[in-house]
Amino acid sequence: MQLTPPLKLQQVAGFIQAEFSGDPGHIISGINEIHRVVKGDITFVDHPKYYRKALESAASTIIINKKMPSPNGKALIFSDDPFKDFVFLIKKFRPFEQSSSMISPTAIIGQGTRVQPGTFIGNHVTIGRNCLIHSNVSIYDHCEIGDNVIIHSGAIIGADAFYFKRRPEFHDKLESCGKVVIGDHVEIGANTTIDKGVSGSTIIGDGTKLDNLIQIGHDTIVGKNCLFAAQVGVAGCVNIEDDVILWGQVGVQKDLTIGKGAVVLGQSGVIKSLEGNKTYFGLPAIDATEKMREIALLKRLPDVFENL
C-alpha cells in the first residue's frame, strides 16, 4: 500500500511510540509485508530466523524486535511486538470504510459495463469498459478490474488475506490493506474467490480464465492467458507465469513459482517450484511421464512378490 503523501521515519516511529535508528527525515512511501516489498516500503520482522531476509530485502525501513545498527541506506524501528505495530499502522492508514449502498458512489464503472441485480461494489473500486458482472458478486474496496471482464454469480473479489500470527491463546489477524487487480479479457467462474494482497496486490493477468469454485490466495500473481479448472486452490504469494494450465482440484503450496507454459494434471499437489513447458502429475507433482511409469511399476508389485 502506498502512502500519500510519504512520511518521515520520525513521524512513523512516533505513531507507535518506538525508538528508531536512522535519519529522522528518512522517507517511508509504502507499507508492505516481506514477500512483496519494494524500495521505500516499511515492513516488519519478529523472528531471528527471518532477520536476514528482512534486512537484505528491498524494504527501506524495518520494524524489528532486536536493537542493532541500521544497515546502509535503511532505517530500523525497534518494537517489542513488530506484528502488533505493523497492524496498527495498517489500521491507521487504511481503516475500514463502511458502505451505505450496494454500489458505492466512489466506484468508477466504465462505459458499456453491465452489473446484474444483487451485486455489491465497494468503495474506490474501478471497473473497465464492456464488462459483465453477474448477480450476487461481491467486489471489495479498492479492487481494480480491466476491460471486457466477465465475473459469474457468487464470486468474491478482494476478501481478506488468510494471514494470522499464532499467539499463546489465539490467532492474531494481520489486517489486509491490499487489493485485487484483474486484467483485460479475464473470466472468473461462479463462487470463485480471489483474496486481496496483505498490503500489495493479488494480480490476475490479461486473458486468464478461471473456472468455478477456485480459490486464489493473497499476493499471488497469475500471468496472462492461464487456464484454471474447477476446484483449483492456490495459496498465497505464488508466482504463476503466462500460459499455465492447472486442471481440476490441483493444489498449490505457498511461495513458489510455476514456469511459463507448464501444465499440471488434475488432483496433483504442487509443493515446490516447477519449470515451464512441462506436464506434471501426482503428489508431489513430478514430470507426468515419470509418474505414469511409476504407476505402471507399482501395478507389477504383486507379481514380483508372488515370484519371490
How are strands ordered across the β-sheet holding 126-127? 108-109, 126-127, 144-145, 179-182, 201-204, 221-222, 239-240, 257-258
Of the residues 35, 134, 142, 218, which is catalytic? 218
User: Exposed, middle or buried by CB within 10 Å (0-12, 13-18, 19+), for 67?
Assistant: exposed
Please indicate whether residue 218 is annotated as part of the active site: yes
The residues carrying an active-site annotation are 218
